[in-house]
Structures are given as structure tokens and as C-alpha cells.
Amino acid sequence: MNSSRITYTAPGKIILFGEHAVVYGYPALAIAIDRRAKCTVSSYLSDEEDVVLSTNLFPGKKFLVSSKESFPSSLQAVLFLIKKLTDNFQSNISLQIDISSSIPSSSGLGSSAAVSVALTNSLSSFLGRNYSLEDVNKIAFEAEKIQHGQPSGIDNNVSTYGGSILYQKGLMEQVTVDDISGFWVIANSMVERNTKDIVANVQKNYKRKQEKTEEIFHSIHSIVIRGKEYIKQNKLDEIGELMNENQTLLEQLGVGHSKLTDLLLILKKNGSMGEKLTGAGGGGCVVGLFDNIKDAHSSMKNIKKKGYQAFTAKHTKIGVTIDE
Ligand code: MEV
């Protein structure tokens, strides 16, 4: 063990274009945002070796990894990672793992991937394993499969590497941008849903209406290709238009929700340049693009007045990183 305490943080994300289609091998574009998951690993002397886990998902509760008590389903991926990474590790020291995240969970912002990436990096570093980013990304993807069934892998990639990424079939390309000058307002419908179930529903529809669904995916593909160029050139108006186009197609895939429609309307009335759901849909979050922080803030306030949660976010280039 290298150190008595180590902390890593990793970002959440928004998918700008291409969610769902990406599960079928089409490309998608995602950007990392300045909301992060944080994981601290420390040690303490103890007669019994164990790992104690605390997370702000369950405030005030401590989970003993060795206990027979079953872990909640939302922590199965975390449990998997802890067991995998501490396998063969023997000492008379117990580990304490503290996870906290400012990324709302179950809402399409990649919170589980960010937790997995931060946990993998902090725990492996603490145990003296010198993992590359590629290793961290791969291991976090294994955890994502436990959490989400058949994820595309986009969430763990953007959380590991940060920035803007184009992702397709396991391959990721950093889309080089100086900066995206826009501000994002992220509004949470607070309709909790499970990515696994929504992805399974789309698959059911795909099997029933393959030709139509493929057509939708092709249109989404074209949006992603155009979107990539607009992102590089920081063309906010065009990015906004494409977000609206993508939203229409997502509704045709059946992943809309009345609360999301409500939120999209509020964003539009408050001057957003484009707005769409982000992530799996069926609930979760929508995102609106603004060219100035003042409008973004007033839109956020108006959304909150209607009883929803909302916050502003900026693009970040910083993927998983040590917190010193
Ligand atoms: C993930 O945030 C969104 C989906 O495209 C699923 C995936 O890519 O794994 C719906």
C-alpha cells in the first residue's frame, strides 16, 4: 500500500446526440460535465480484515463487505469492484471506502459510471496497482454491465477520459474542442427509472419494428456526424437545432415521458437554443443549451419554481483525476 489515504474524482456526463442508437453500434457524442463522483480509500488498524463502505446514496449507513447482509441492488456494481480489486489482498489492515457524488443518480447523467471509475482508480492506486486509464476504463465497464445489463460503454469512457467523445462499438475518439462556450441547464424530472429496463424496452420495440427503428437510428447517426463538426466549431445555434431533431427521434423510439415534455417546454420558453432528454429517457433528466449564464440561471430558477430540480453545468476536459 502506498499511502494511508487516496482520493480520486470522476465526472458525470451528458449525451448530446446518439443515446440508444449507440447500443446498436451507431456512434454517439457525449461530453463530461463539472459534476463529479468522489471516492476516498483509507486504512485503519483492525483485528479483522474487512472493507467498510459508506456512500451518500445511503447517508449515515456503513456497509461491511464481508457481512452476510445483502447489499442493495444500487450497490451491486460497487460491491463487485471492491471484491475484484481486493482479491488476493491480505493484510491486518481494514479498508474504509467513502463514496460521495454530486451527480444525481438514476437520471441519465452517468453517475454509476463515474462512481465505478473513481472507485476503481482510487482503490487500485491505494493497493499499489499501477493501472493505466485504459485498465480503469475496462474494469469500470465490467461494473457497468452489472448495473445496466448491456451498456454501450459510452458512460465509463467519458468519465475516464473527460472532454467530448465520439464513441462507437468500444472505440472512443476525443473530439478536440478549445471549449464549448455554452452553458447547460440540466433539469431532473425526478421520475426515477432504470437504464436497464428502458434499454430492454427499446430492444423489444426494435424486434417488433426493426425497419422503422433502423430508420430512426440512421437519422440519429446523421445528427451525430453533423453534431461532431458543430461541436468542434463551437456552433451553438446548430448544436441546439440538432438537439431538437434528436429529441423528436428519441420520442419516436418511445423513451419520452410527459414530465420530460413539460421540462422541455419550460426550457424552450426560457430561451434555450435546443433541448432534449439525455441518457436513457423514460424519466431522468433533460438538458437545455444557453449561450449565456444569465439566461441559464433564470431558466434554472423557473424550473425549480415548478417543483423540479435543476442546475447549470459546464463542459469539463478533466476525466478521472487524483484529488490532492
Ligand atoms: C447511457 O447513458 C444511455 C444509453 O444509450 C445506454 C448506453 O449507451 O449504454 C441509453
Residues of the chain within CATH 3.30.230.10 domain(s) are: 5-177
Of all protein residues, whose CA lies closest to atom 2 belonging to ligand 1?
279
Say yes or no: CB of residue 109 within 6 Å of ligand 1.
no
Say yes or no: CB of residue 22 within 6 Å of ligand 1.
yes
Residue 173 DSSP code: E
Task: Give, in order, the Cα–Cα distances in Å from 274 to each of 151, 233, 236.
Answer: 26, 17, 9
Say yes or no: CB of residue 113 within 6 Å of ligand 1.
no
Phi, psi of 291 (to 5 degrees): -95, 0
Count of C-beta atoms within a 10 Å radius of residue 135: 15
Q: What is the pLDDT of residue 90?
A: 66
- Give me 188's grid cell: 431532473
Task: Say whether pLDDT at 91 is over 70.
Answer: no
pTM: 0.94
Say yes or no: CB of residue 221 within 6 Å of ligand 1.
no
Q: Quick one: CA torsion of 30, 31, 34, 40, rounded to 10 degrees?
A: 60
Task: Say whether pLDDT at 66 is over 90.
Answer: no
Residue with cell 463515474: 114
Mutate to test the pocket of ligand 1, among 22, 141, 172 (most ligand atoms within 8 A of CB): 22
- The dihedral sign for the CA sequence 293, 294, 299, 305: positive
How confident is the prediction for the chain on average, in pLDDT?
94
Task: Say whether pLDDT at 105 is over 80.
Answer: yes
Residue-wise pLDDT tens digits, 215-267: 999 999 999 999 999 999 999 999 999 999 999 999 999 999 999 999 999 99
Q: In CATH, what number does 183-313 get?
A: 3.30.70.890
Give the residue-averaged pLDDT of 128-148.
96
Q: Quick one: CA torsion of 155, 159, 162, 164, rounded to 10 degrees?
A: 10
Task: Say whether pLDDT at 2 is over 60.
Answer: no
Residues of the chain within CATH 3.30.70.890 domain(s) are: 183-313
Which ligand 1 atom sits nearest the alpha carbon of residue 154? 8
What is d(CA 222, CA 308) in angstroms, rounded to the nearest whole number? 32
Query: Is CATH 3.30.110.40 correct for 5-177?
Result: no
Say yes or no: CB of residue 151 within 6 Å of ligand 1.
yes
Give the residue-averaged pLDDT of 36-57.
89
Residue-wise pLDDT tens digits, 260-311: 999 999 999 999 999 999 999 999 999 999 999 999 999 999 999 999 999 9
Give the residue-averaged pLDDT of 48-60.
90
Residue with cell 485503519: 44
Task: Say whether pLDDT at 133 is over 90.
Answer: yes
Say yes or no: CB of residue 98 within 6 Å of ligand 1.
no
Pairing of strands 51-55, 93-101: parallel
- Give me 155's grid cell: 458512460
Of all protein residues, whose CA lies closest to atom 10 belonging to ligand 1?
280
Which ligand 1 atom sits nearest the alpha carbon of residue 108? 2
Query: What pLDDT band is residue 1 in, cutting at 50, 70 and 90?
Result: low
Task: Say whether pLDDT at 106 is over 90.
Answer: no
How far, in whole angstroms, is CA 1 from its chain's centroid?
30
Of all protein residues, whose CA lies closest to atom 1 belonging to ligand 1?
279
